[in-house]
Amino acid sequence: MAGMVIKPSGNVDQDFAAMMIPHHQGAIDMAQAELRYGRNELLRRIAQEIVVEQQQEIVAMRLALGQPLPPSSVAPQTAVPPMTQMPLAHMHTEP
C-alpha cells in the first residue's frame, strides 16, 4: 500500500501508473498466496485470473509510458495447475 503514495508529478498518466502498478502488484502477491495455500477452488480460480489480468495490465501501463519491463512481469512467478475452463458463475464450492 505504501507504494501507492506518490508525490504528484503534474503528469496525470505517469502518476496514475505510478500508483496503479504497486496496487496491481499487491493484488498479484495476495493472489499468489491463495494459489499456494488456498483450497477453495472458486477462490483459486479468481486468484489465477487476478494474476494473469493484473500482470497484463502492469505490462500495458509500463509500455504506455515507455518504461522497461522487469523480467518477472513477463510470465507468472509460480507454476499453477490449470483450472477448469468453466465460467465463474457456474462453479460451485463444497460447504
Whether the CB-CB separation of 8 and 15 falls below 8 Å is answered with yes
- Tell me the CA distances in angstroms from 79 to 30, 42, 57, 90, one per residue in order: 15, 18, 20, 25
Q: Domain map of the chain by residue range?
A: 2-90
Q: How many angstroms separate the CA atoms of 74 and 49, rounded?
A: 15
- The pLDDT of residue 2 is 63
- The pLDDT of residue 67 is 86
Whether the CB-CB separation of 27 and 50 falls below 8 Å is answered with yes
- The pLDDT of residue 60 is 94
Chunk the chain into consecutive blocks of 10 residues (it has 95) and report each block's average pLDDT, rounded to whole numbers.
73 91 95 98 98 95 87 50 44 46
- The pLDDT of residue 65 is 87
- The pLDDT of residue 8 is 82
- The pLDDT of residue 6 is 72
- The pLDDT of residue 1 is 58
Whether the CB-CB separation of 27 and 49 falls below 8 Å is answered with no
